[in-house]
């Protein structure tokens, strides 16, 4: 059986330079060759470099499209795929691939490392080995393999900045795949999605500016779905409605999700067209907004639909 590893960059393939760690060609390739030679993995693994290699802090929706396009172009030639990626935006890319790859009937495993393979004691070897093996055993869909866990690609988030066990997943949800008769890769455009977090006493000026200038708003609201009942916020939400741009809300709490209308303080959101993000992660919600804005149909209907188990 044949598999393709798409190396995008990130810590796993970095080496020390005079300016700090930076991606370098050859690091991941050498480790894959060593694992094959030792017999730790079976099957044939080819490697595709997504050049230039990225620090994931520089990743953008265009890069999500590039990864999805490689998978679509090589889909018939391989039985599964591994994507190596920097951890800082890994959860965004995993969610974006869930939305982009409609009709996916093979496993796509996204992984990375907290320490480079070039550093003694790196977690990269384990994560890479586990991911290569997961291409043989994982159900079809987009998954994140990290620190011994196989996690739902649209329900995972980075929860720690230094520990090897850096990711957490919201339990439950349908499998991380969109149903379809055949693979179709949806691309991402250049939409401007503003992320705005509620905080006590925060000026609503930025909300009004974003409602005027952005293509969509992602609101990080309190608890189970509350926000300040301010005239400025109401004006911003009504301006977004007038412009026909989607406004999606998710909870600032990492677990539990939200339900608009639970508290009266959430009425300002519910009554002004805000879409309930339920228990979506920020990463999945952001990627879904980009996906909906690139969708040829109604973005609001797309956002209200459960596409790949991103919410319960």
So which residues are the catalytic ones?
11, 87
Strand 101-102 to 184-185 pairing: antiparallel
Binding residues for substrate: 56, 87-88
Q: Distance between CA atoms of 200 and 80, rounded to whole angstroms? A: 47
Q: Residue 246 in contact with residue 271, Cβ under 8 Å?
A: no
Length of the chain: 312
- Number of Cβ within a 10 Å radius of residue 213: 11
Residue 160, token pair as written in the block:
């720690």
Q: Distance between CA atoms of 28 and 14, rounded to whole angstroms? A: 9
Could you tell me which of 291, 242, 261 has the C-alpha nearest to residue 92? Answer: 291
Q: Distance between CA atoms of 45 and 32, rounded to whole angstroms? A: 8
Q: Distance between CA atoms of 130 and 253, rounded to whole angstroms? A: 30
Q: Which residues pair with 3 in a beta bridge?
A: 45, 80
Binding residues: 56, 87-88
Q: Residue 111 in contact with residue 85, Cβ under 8 Å?
A: yes
Q: Residue 280 in contact with residue 254, Cβ under 8 Å?
A: no
Half-sphere CA count of 111, side-chain side, radius 13 A? 33
Residue 112 backbone phi and psi in degrees, to 5:
-170, -155
Residue 81, token pair as written in the block:
């795929």
Q: Distance between CA atoms of 311 and 286, rounded to whole angstroms? A: 13
Phi-psi region of 26 (alpha: psi -120 to 50; beta: other; left: phi over 0): left
């Amino acid at each position: 059986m044949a598999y393709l590893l798409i190396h995008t960059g990130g810590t796993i393939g970095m080496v020390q330079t005079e300016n700090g760690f930076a991606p370098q060609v050859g690091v991941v390739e050498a480790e894959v060759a060593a694992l094959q030679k030792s017999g730790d993995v079976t099957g044939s693994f080819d490697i595709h470099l997504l050049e230039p290699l990225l620090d994931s802090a520089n990743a953008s929706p265009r890069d999500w499209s590039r990864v999805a396009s490689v998978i679509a172009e090589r889909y018939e030639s391989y039985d599964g795929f591994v994507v190596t990626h920097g951890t800082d935006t890994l959860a965004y890319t995993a969610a974006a691939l869930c939305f982009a790859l409609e009709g996916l009937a093979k496993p796509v495993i996204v992984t990375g490392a907290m320490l480079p393979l070039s550093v003694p004691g790196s977690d990269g070897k384990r994560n890479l080995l586990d991911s290569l093996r997961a291409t043989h055993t994982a159900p079809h869909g987009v998954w994140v393999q990290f620190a011994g866990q196989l996690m739902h690609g649209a329900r995972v988030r980075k929860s720690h900045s230094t520990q090897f066990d850096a990711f957490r997943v919201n339990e439950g949800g349908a499998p991380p795949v969109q149903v379809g008769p055949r693979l179709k890769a949806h691309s991402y455009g250049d939409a401007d999605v503003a992320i705005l977090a509620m905080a006590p006493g925060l000026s609503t000026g930025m909300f009004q500016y974003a409602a005027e200038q952005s293509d969509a708003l992602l609101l990080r609201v309190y608890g189970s779905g509350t926000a300040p009942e301010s005239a400025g916020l109401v004006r911003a939400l009504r301006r977004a409605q007038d412009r026909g741009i989607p406004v999606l809300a998710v909870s600032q709490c990492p677990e539990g999700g939200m339900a608009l209308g639970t508290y009266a303080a959430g009425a300002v959101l519910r009554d002004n067209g805000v879409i309930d993000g339920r228990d979506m992660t920020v990463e999945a919600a952001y990627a879904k907004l980009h996906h909906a804005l690139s969708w040829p149909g109604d973005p609001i209907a797309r956002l209200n639909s459960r596409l790949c188990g991103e919410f319960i």
